[in-house]
């Protein structure tokens, strides 16, 4: 079969628009860590320290200490509400988001049942022990819980026994995915486990039902809200971007994005939680490139990307007001949403840059230095590794030091 040519790379002007939408400039940054996470709906939380930095970067005049306080006040939670990766959400969004996307975890649950023997009896034993410890201490560490499971025979006492590690992890994830446990207040750098049943339940979510669905369409009101928040905080995005971020199929993601545009454009529209609903736009690739070029300039590709893009309606104006801030040099943490929050991130970096950020291609990412909307270096073991072997200019050297100093203050 003939080789299908890759799609055209997105221009850097799209990256600048995304930087603004992401809240990484003063005009769009959030007043509190809680609001920063609410706007994004869910933020990657695989490396907890990195997620603290990512939230702080999107919050006005707040260091990671402010983000820690939000966890300790139980405003922010860490769990597996979507896909197979841990994310940070607000307490209010945790359950309805988890339920709306529950049918996307069927493969994980099937494997836990068939390969590791997780059944309802075992889950109940594990949950009862967790609630007992939480009732006694208020919050417990993962190690304390697993050790108690081992003492009572729920998991093998020998952590190196065949399948022991997978069983422990499967129980932890399943209890989170079922809305029984969640991670909140901190002990040092570790979020402790608390009872998720104390959080606002799924019926407080969009559509006031919170019900999941075995059908691939799910709860339309909840999926539209997921798409709306994603497009507002990440746009310009496509259905493929939303599908990768949320775990939805592309067909469902496209429908959810179109529903989100309709909902946000309705007269007098307001979000289910009373927050401001920013109108959204649908644009073809050609329309988007013309708009982005008019605001940010730069070289444009000869061929426009296919598909439909969704973005907040005021994004071009916001970029025009914030162009110097969007172009500034910034050091962003590993797993930052500006990078991993998209299927197509060619506006931010190329194939060589992807290798620079994840040299082992094992799903682990390095912190990144972004300058004028492009990845120019990665941070490895405390040292910058430059995309071109060295900084391109004295200006970039000076700007890099300022970015590192800002990150250190946070």
- What was the pLDDT predicted at 409? 65
d(CA 338, CA 198): 32
- What was the pLDDT predicted at 217? 52
pLDDT means over runs of 10, the chain (410 residues) = 72 97 98 97 95 96 92 97 91 95 72 77 95 97 97 91 88 93 95 97 79 57 95 98 95 96 78 83 95 88 88 97 97 96 96 92 89 95 87 86 79
Residues written for the chain: 410
d(CA 35, CA 38): 5
- Beta carbons within 8 Å of 149's beta carbon, 6+ residues apart: 126, 129, 155, 168, 171
Buried b (16+ CB within 10 A) or exposed e, 120-151: eebbebbbebbeebbeeeebbbbeebbebbbe
C-beta neighbour count of 47 within 10 angstroms: 17
d(CA 340, CA 174): 24
56 in Cβ contact with 176 (< 8 Å) = no
27 in Cβ contact with 338 (< 8 Å) = no
- What was the pLDDT predicted at 208? 65
- What was the pLDDT predicted at 402? 86
- Side-chain half-sphere CA neighbours of 254 within 13 A: 6
d(CA 39, CA 304): 29
SS3 182: strand
Helix (H) or strand (E) holding 375: strand 374-380
Burial (CB count within 10 angstroms: exposed 0-12, middle 13-18, buried 19+), residue 65? exposed
Query: Widest CA span of the chain, in angstroms?
Result: 66
DSSP 285-318: HHHHHHHHHHHH-----SSPPPSEEEEETTHHHH
């Amino acid at each position: 079969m003939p080789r299908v040519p890759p799609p055209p790379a997105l221009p850097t002007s799209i990256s600048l628009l995304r930087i603004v939408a992401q809240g990484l400039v003063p005009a769009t940054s959030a007043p509190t860590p809680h609001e920063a996470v609410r706007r994004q709906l869910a933020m990657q939380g695989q490396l907890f320290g990195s997620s603290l930095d990512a939230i702080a970067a999107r919050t006005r005049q707040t260091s990671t200490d402010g983000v820690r306080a939000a966890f300790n006040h139980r405003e922010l939670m860490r769990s597996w509400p979507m896909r197979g990766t841990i994310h940070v959400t607000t307490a209010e969004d945790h359950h309805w988001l988890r339920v709306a996307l529950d049918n996307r975890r069927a493969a994980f649950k099937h494997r836990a049942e068939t390969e590791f023997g997780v059944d309802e009896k075992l889950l109940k034993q594990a949950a009862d022990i967790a609630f007992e410890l939480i009732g006694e201490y208020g919050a417990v560490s993962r190690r304390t819980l697993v050790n108690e499971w081992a003492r009572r025979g729920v998991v093998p006492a020998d952590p190196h026994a065949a399948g022991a590690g997978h069983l422990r992890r499967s129980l932890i994830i399943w209890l989170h995915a079922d809305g029984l446990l969640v991670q909140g207040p901190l002990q040092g750098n570790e979020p402790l486990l608390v009872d998720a049943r104390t959080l606002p339940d799924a019926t407080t979510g969009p559509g006031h039902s919170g019900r999941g669905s075995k059908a691939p369409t799910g709860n339309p009101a909840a999926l539209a809200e997921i798409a709306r928040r994603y497009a507002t905080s990440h746009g310009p995005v496509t259905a493929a971007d939303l599908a990768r971020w949320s775990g939805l199929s592309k067909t469902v993601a496209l429908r959810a994005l179109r529903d989100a545009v309709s909902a946000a454009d309705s007269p007098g529209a307001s979000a289910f939680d009373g927050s401001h609903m920013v109108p959204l736009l649908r644009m073809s690739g050609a329309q988007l490139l013309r708009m982005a070029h008019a605001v940010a300039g730069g070289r444009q590709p000869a061929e426009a990307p296919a598909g439909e893009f969704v973005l907040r309606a005021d994004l071009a104006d916001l970029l025009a007001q914030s162009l110097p801030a969007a172009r500034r040099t910034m050091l962003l943490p590993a797993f930052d949403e500006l990078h991993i929050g998209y299927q197509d991130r060619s506006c931010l970096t190329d194939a060589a840059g992807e290798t620079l950020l994840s040299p082992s291609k094992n799903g682990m990412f390095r912190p990144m230095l972004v300058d004028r909307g492009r990845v120019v270096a990665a941070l490895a073991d405390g040292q910058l590794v430059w995309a071109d072997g060295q900084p391109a200019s004295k200006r970039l050297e000076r700007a890099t030091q300022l970015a590192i100093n800002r990150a250190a203050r946070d």
